Structure 1
Amino acid sequence: MAIITLTRQPGSMGDEIGMLVARRLGYVYYDKKEIEKRIIAKGLPREEFVKFDERKPSILDRFTKNRDRYLNYLSSVILEIAKEGNCVIMGRGAFIFLRDVPNHITLRFVSTMKKRLEHIKEVTGITNDKVGEKFIADSDKRQRAFYKSCFKYDLNDLSLIYAAINTALCPPDMLADMIVAGITSNVTPKIDADGRKRVEELILAQEMTNKLIFENGLHIDELWVMVHDKRITLHGLTSFHATVERAVTILESEYSGYEVQSEIHCVQDTRFSKA
Structure 2
Amino acid sequence: MAVICIARELASLGEETAHELADLTGYRYLDKAYVEKKLSEYGIAAQEIQRFDEKKPGFWASLSRGRDDYLHFLKTVLYEEAQIGDCILVGRGGMGIFAGVPGVIAVRLTSPMPIRIERIKKFYNCDERHAEQLARQSDNDRDGFHRYFFNLDWRDP
Asked if structure 2 preserves the Cα contact closer than 8 Å seen for 1:3 and 1:104, the reply is yes
Q: What secondary structure, in the 3-state scheme, does the structure 2 residue paired with 1:47 have?
A: helix
Give the corresponding residue for 1:132.
131
Contact 1:27 1:86 in 2 (8 A): yes
Percent of aligned pairs sharing the same letter: 32
Question: Counterparts of 1:69 and 1:14 in 2: how far apart (Å)?
Answer: 27
Q: Where does residue 47 of structure 2 map in the other structure?
A: 47
The answer as to whether partners of 1:148 and 1:154 remain within 8 angstroms in 2 is yes
- Contiguous gaps of at least 5 residues in structure 2: none
Counterparts of 1:6 and 1:96 in 2: how far apart (Å)? 11
Q: Tell me, which stretches of 5 or more residues in structure 1 are unaligned? A: 162-275
Query: 1:22: how far off?
Result: 0.4
- What code does the residue aligned with 1:122 have? K
* Partners of 2:90 and 2:122 in 1: CA distance: 21
1:54 touches 1:92 (CA, 8 Å); kept in 2?
Answer: yes
Partner of 1:147: 146
CA contact (8 A) 2:96 2:146 kept: no
| d(CA) in 1 for partners of 2:100, 2:85 | 15
Give the superposition deviation at 1:3: 1.0
Find the counterpart in structure 1 of residue 91 from structure 2.
91
- Give secondary structure in 1 for the equivalent of 2:154: coil
SS at 2:7 equivalent: strand
Task: Give 1:65 deviation, angstroms.
Answer: 2.1
Query: Offset at 1:84?
Result: 1.2
Q: Taking structure 1 as the reference length, what is the TM-score of the superposition?
A: 0.55
Q: Which residue of 1 aligns with 2:6?
A: 6
Q: Name 2:64's counterpart in structure 1.
A: 64
Task: Measure the CA separation in 2 of the matches of 1:2 and 1:41.
Answer: 24
CA RMSD after TM alignment: 1.3
Show CA shifts across 1:53-94 (max 9, x none): 111212112123221111001000110111112210011111
Q: Quote how far apart the aligned CAs of 1:124 are.
A: 2.6
> Between Structure 1 and Structure 2, which shows a larger proportion of strand residues?
1
* Cα deviation, residue 121, structure 1: 2.2
**Distance in 2 of aligned mates of 1:43 and 1:132:** 35
Report if the CA contact (8 A) 1:13-1:119 is conserved: no
| Consecutive aligned runs of 4 or more in structure 1 exceeding 4 Å deviation | none
**Pairs aligned (count):** 157
State the structure with bigger RCO (CA 8 A, min sep 6), 1 or 2.
2
Letter of the 2:150 counterpart: F
Post-superposition shift, 1:15? 1.0
| Partner-residue secondary structure (3-state), 2:88 | strand
Judge which range, 113-122 or 28-37, deviates more: 113-122
